[in-house]
Amino acid sequence: MPRRPTKAEPSPPPPVVLPSEAVSPFETSLDVDLGDAGSQMVTAVFIPSGFPSLDAEPELRINMPAQALIAMGSERVTFAVDMPPAALARTGYDHVVVDYWPTGHQPADGAGGGYGVPLLSLSFLSKPMSWCDEHISECVELTDGAAGCNASAPAEDTRAFFELPSADYTPTGMAPLKTFGGLALPNIGNLLIPEADGAALTCGGVQPPVELAGKPPWAACLAQSLSVKDGAPHPDYGCRCGKWPAPTVSPVGLAYGGAIIGHGVMLSMAHVQGLVDGTASDPVPFPQARASDIAGLIADVVETSYDAALGHVSVSFVLREHEPVGGGAPAWAWVCLVIALVACAVTCFLQCQGPPKAAPAKEGSPASDGHQLL
């Protein structure tokens, strides 16, 4: 289904209009215009548990041509791929939105700090495309040219981007970006990033210009980063953001309207190049929540890999059923409960039997003659 362009995307190519094609119950494919790299095939594959080995966990994998990704150039590219039928039946995800950000996005300083580097984001959404088109396809932008939504905008559909889930439903160790007006993006939702990223990507050293007087310090950082994006002369206001922690692969939660509507991952293009060059990439655990808004198999581990024979880079979610994190009673409490239930059952059984019956008296005995024994 076509995705509407948004106000936050002043210059990207139009959304892909070709529908995903189900190659099999376990695979869908999409012919994608990857900008400078031209038309390329992207596939979404669902691998059930037990394949290729009996102990293998289920997996959701997005395959993309490696050299085409590296050659995408300076234009933003965005497209969506439907999940295969088998994945729709077993997982909590409906489709994936893939975004290529040639200059990254906030937090950024225009000098390579923060997320201000070329990157890919893959957003696995639990809602159908029709719902996403109605609810999250547009928002009031933070400022002209910025990708983010404006938290101060009175529009109801924009405010919903900033309604966060309760602590029980928020993946452990994730939080919204607390500067740059947050990181709520059209077609995706509000990105909850690892707290370790938030701490490392802190920006400082700002010397606000007169035209930004009274604005928060990050406004100068945003102006620096947007000047790089637009190709304008770089105004250096002294803003410097910390570097994205290695391996520059970050799991993210996607929130909207007080609920988690999906899970995602961001990875730098330097990481993609490293995969092609043979740099080892360890799996990244996906933080879990005490409770889940998403039914079915969900992300447990993020894996990235390169298949030299096929020439593609894969970004995968190893999947699991949701299990509460940090909730419920400890193991010893369950043991005590079982013991108590067994004791109660035994007591009830004995009480139901009543008092023991006296043995019948023998003929000729005192009791049989009706005389009491003294």
Taking a C-beta distance cutoff of 8 angstroms, is the pair 41, 21 a contact? Answer: no
> Tokens at residue 366, please?
């005192």
Cα distances from 20 to residues 30, 67, 264, 315, in angstroms, run: 5, 22, 20, 18
Question: Look-up: residue for tokens 């008296």?
Answer: 361
Q: Can you name the residues that pair with 62 across neighbouring β-strands?
A: 44, 315
88 touches 128 (CB < 8 A)? no
Q: Hey, what amino acid is at 260?
A: I
Q: Is the pLDDT of residue 303 over 80?
A: yes
Name which of 7-21, 60-74, 81-95, 275-289 the model is least confident about: 7-21
Rounded-to-integer distance, Cα 121 and Cα 147, Å = 13
For residue 76 the two structure tokens come to 């933003």
pLDDT for 329: 42
Q: What is the pLDDT of residues 209-259, one digit of tens each?
A: 888 888 888 888 888 888 876 666 677 889 999 999 999 999 999 999 999
**Structural contact between residues 114 and 244, judged by C-beta atoms closer than 8 angstroms:** yes
What is the Cα–Cα distance from 79 to 97, expressed in whole angstroms? 6
Contact residues for 270 (Cβ-Cβ < 8 A; gap 6+): 117, 118, 248
**Residues 53, 56, 62, 63, CA torsion sign:** negative
Report which listed range, 135-139, 176-180, 265-269, is most confident.
Answer: 265-269
- The amino acid at residue 223 is A
Length of the chain: 374
Quote the pLDDT of residue 327: 41
Reported pTM: 0.80
The per-residue pLDDT for 15 is: 45
99, two tokens: 């975004």
Q: How confident is the model over 35-77, as pLDDT tens digits?
A: 888 889 999 999 998 777 777 899 999 999 999 999 998 889 9
**Residues in Cβ contact with 249 at an 8 Å cutoff, skipping those fewer than 6 apart:** 265, 266, 267, 268, 271, 281, 284, 302, 304
| Ranges 152-166, 209-223, 325-339: which has the least confidence | 325-339
pLDDT band at 275 (very low <50, low <70, confident <90, very high): very high
CA distance 374 to 229: 111
CB–CB of 78/12 below 8 Å?
yes
Contact 313, 303 (CB under 8 A): no
* Cα torsion through 312, 126, 165, 300, rounded to 10: -50
- Higher pLDDT: 44 or 365? It is 44
pLDDT value for 110:
87
